[in-house]
A and B are shown apart, each in its own frame.
Chain A
Amino acid sequence: MNDKFAIETQDLTKNYGKVTVVDHLNFHVKENEVFGLLGPNGAGKTTTILMLLGLTEPASGIVRVLGYNPNREPLKVKRITGYLPESVGFYEDLTACENLEFIADLNKLSRAETKSRIDQVLEMVGLTEQKNVATKKFSRGMRQRLGIADVLIKEPKLVILDEPTSGLDPAGINQLLDIIAGLPKMGCTVMLSSHQLYQVQRVCHSIGILVKGRMVIQGPIDSLGRETVGGGRYTIEVETAAPSAALVDVIKSLKGVLNVDASGNNMSITTDTDLRGDIAKIVVQSNIPLVQIKVKEFSLDDVYMKYFKESQD
């Protein structure tokens, strides 16, 4: 066991009846990073998380959370792990403060500690003023923030958030992500799941994409783009003032060009290296006005779309 990893799984598998929902999952989450577990609905994200917490038993495989096996020593894992479920609920008749007090009590915090930490976490999520308001009056966004406060009150080493941004408006999402982004500095590892990559990509250091129970790709977010989708190739996008079949042929004959897709005024050119200069020259020489030329940036969304397409085929 390498203690640099907060979460480690080996061939983690879960079946419901004959359906394999999580299929030989291998991944690890480094300490003090934000890991995004991404994938479409029904990919098995929640199931994976439940296994990490010992809330459901894996069919086979090994899980290690902060060095413990969550099925053998669930309490040790739960003592230092905070979990925000997909749809979080509170005791509606109790106030925000009372809800948190109960959780603190379950974690055996002393009174003084409870008091100071409640103030601290409510401050963090911006709910100080709602401290004594019954949670039945809370909006979806407030609930989600209270959920984060609830998770943080035990000062966890690991925080697992299942779809934390779902159902929030853009402002709420940003607020939440800012809080999440600050957690690693407090010595806290974060794992969050989402089916909306765009929303979370800015706070994730690494991601794993789960499709039909299999991890199709994982790694640090900045190195994932080009290599995984383009196979190390470049895609250069050219927009001209008018379509021209002759121009396409010329570009095709250029050394290093692998493929040209033309549609209307746009061409999408696949190359081995960055041939922008040569292509621009050819276009200009052919007397067709060049509107723009750029190397296509592969965003994670492309990564995501690629695997989604594959999974739908």
Chain B
Amino acid sequence: MFAIVRKELADCFNSVRFFVLFLLVLLASGLGLYAVQQGIHTALQQSQAITENGFVFLAIFTSSFPGLSFLNFAMVITIIVPIIGIAMGFDAINSERTGRTMSRLLSQPVYRDGVINGKFIAGLITITLMIGTAILLVAGYGLRMIGVPPTSEEIIRLFFYFVITIVYGAFWMGLAMLCSVIFRRAAGSLLIPIVLFLIFFAWMFLGSVFVPVDSSATINVQIQQLNLQETLLRISPVYLFQEALYVLLNPVVMGLGVISSAQAAYMVPNPLNLGQSLLSVWPHIVGLISLSVVFFAISYVVFMKQEIRAT
């Protein structure tokens, strides 16, 4: 299996694909930094950092362009990590078929699952490198911009953000690899994960469409509706990730669970502490991991049963 990891990594680092993806990562980091420059002030206010309750350093990652509250580094990452994951996985297996290297590969003393695992691990290493680069770039330059070093808690939170982003990338890569096992042509295995991503991405904005909150109803009904809305939204892995990263990076803005505006008015601005944050994103991480595992399991089963015929 390590022979496969080695080869895949070597192939990857020499490929145009890697170069393009890396450019994308640099672009995303640049965009994130630009957003920091433009919107750090607002971000600091929103995250309560000004009042010394929030995190100054972490605000770098969620500060957005003025007027475009969704456009920040975290959101850019939410969009490009699936692209990277899909790009790493969509032709993993079917390229061996179309290149007719599959039967040669599988007539060597390797287990079939070793082939999938090797490719997955190589992809994971690449994704980790890219995400690491992006986060370090933004953290480094962001630090120079705001001049406030991170506290140890912020470093821990950032680390968990890093981990969950890798899991999120692995999820998309797993999906793409499953498609590459099922579909013989790269066109199909590329298109389907992309379409799924677009659907899940749009899904984040559709909650209020599916379950409108009736503002004339009683508070209890409204809370019920909001809860239902949230359950629906959580079907989307993109939303799961988005929710988790806000708990980690900007816990004031978005504590989990429904807070009615009536309640919010009485809320003391008090961010979740680290333990609480981790506790509340734990199900998200587990959810993303188990979805990846399901994709993987299906890939295994399908791949094991496939006949390897070189024609």
User: Which residue of B has the minimal Cβ distance to A56?
Assistant: B307
Residue of B nearest to A86 (CB): B310
List residues of chain B with CB under 8 Å of any chain A CB.
3-4, 6-7, 11, 14, 99-101, 103-111, 307-311
A308 within 8 Å of B (CB atoms): no
Residues B108 and A107 in contact, CB atoms below 8 Å apart: yes
Pick the contact of A50 from B11, B104, B108, B307 — CB < 8 Å?
A: B307
Other 18 A-B pairs with CB < 8 A, given A78-B108, A106-B4, A106-B109: A46-B309, A46-B311, A50-B307, A78-B107, A81-B107, A87-B310, A87-B311, A88-B104, A88-B310, A89-B99, A89-B100, A89-B310, A91-B101, A93-B11, A94-B11, A105-B6, A106-B105, A150-B104
Which residues of the other chain, B, contact A50 by a CB distance below 8 angstroms?
A: 307-309
Among A85, A91, A93, the most chain B Cβ lie within 10 Å of the Cβ of: A85
B105: nearest chain-A partner, CB-CB: A106
Give the CA-CA distance A91 to B104 in the complex, in Å: 11
Residues on the A chain within 8 Å of B311, using CB: 46, 86-87
Given A50-B307, A86-B311, A91-B11, answer yes or no on A106-B100 (Cβ-Cβ < 8 Å): no
Distance (whole angstroms) from the CB of A71 to the closest CB of chain B: 12
- Over the window 91-122 of chain A, the binary record of Cβ atoms lying under 8 Å from chain B Cβ atoms (1 yes, 0 no) is 11110000000110111100000000000000
List chain A residues, Cβ under 8 A from B7. Answer: 102, 105
Q: Inside 8 A of B103's CB, which chain A residues have their CB?
A: 55, 83, 85
Residues of A within 8 A of B4 (CB): 106
Is the CB–CB distance between A85 and B104 below 8 Å? yes
4 smallest beta-carbon distances between A and B, as pairs: A89-B100, A85-B310, A83-B107, A105-B3
In the complex, what residue of chain B is closest to A162 when comparing beta carbons?
A: B310
A53 at the binding interface (Cβ < 8 Å): yes
Contact status of A91 and B99, CB under 8 A, knowing A86-B310, A105-B6, A105-B7: yes
Interface check A291, CB cutoff 8 A: no
Whether a CB of chain B sits under 8 angstroms from the CB of A90 is: yes
Cα distance A154–B109 in the bound complex, in angstroms: 10
* Chain A residue with Cβ nearest B108: A106
Q: In whole angstroms, what is the CA distance A50 to B103 when docked?
A: 10
Q: How many residues of A contact B (CB 8 A)?
A: 31
Residue picked from B101, B104, B106, most chain A C-beta under 10 Å: B104
A79 within 8 A of B: yes
Q: Is the CB of B307 within 8 A of A92?
A: no
Residues of B contacting A85 in the complex (Cβ-Cβ under 8 angstroms): 100, 103-104, 107, 310
Q: Across the interface, which residues of B come within 8 angstroms of A87, CB to CB?
A: 100, 310-311
Residues of A contacting B104 with CB < 8 Å?
Answer: 83, 85, 88-90, 103, 147, 150
- Residues from chain B with Cβ under 8 Å of A59 in the complex: none
What are the residues of chain A within 8 A of B111 when measuring CB–CB? 75
Contact call B11/A55, Cβ cutoff below 8 A: no
List of A residues within 8 angstroms of B107 by Cβ: 53, 55, 78, 81-83, 85
Contacts of A82 in B (CB 8 A): 107
Q: Using known A-B contacts A87-B100, A102-B7, determine if residue A107 contacts B307 with beta carbons closer than 8 Å.
A: no
Write 16 A-B pairs (CB below 8 A) sorted by A numbering: A50-B307, A50-B308, A53-B107, A55-B107, A55-B307, A55-B308, A75-B110, A78-B107, A86-B311, A88-B310, A89-B310, A90-B101, A92-B99, A103-B108, A105-B3, A147-B104
Minimum CB–CB distance from B195 to chain A (whole Å) comes to 29
A56 surroundings in chain B (CB, below 8 A): 307-309
Smallest CB separation, A16 vs chain B (Å): 9
A301 nearest CB across to chain B (Å): 27
Chain A minimum-CB-distance residue to B307: A56
Contacts of A78 in B (CB 8 A): 107-110
Please give me the residue from chain A that is nearest to B100 by CB atom: A89
Chain A residues within an 8 Å CB radius of B106 = 55
Most buried by B among A56, A92, A106: A106
* Complex alpha-carbon distance, A93 and B13, angstroms: 13
Choose among A88, A89, A105 the residue with the greatest number of B CB atoms under 10 Å from its CB: A89
Which residue of chain B lies nearest to A105 when distances are taken between CB atoms in the complex? B3
Tell me the complex Cα distance, A90–B105, Å.
Answer: 10
Question: CB-CB < 8 A to A147: which residues of B?
Answer: 104
Residues of A within 8 A of B108 (CB): 78, 103, 106-107, 154
Cβ B110 vs Cβ A106 within 8 A: yes
Beta-carbon contacts under 8 Å, A291-308 to B: none
Q: How far in angstroms is the closest Cβ of chain A from B6?
A: 7
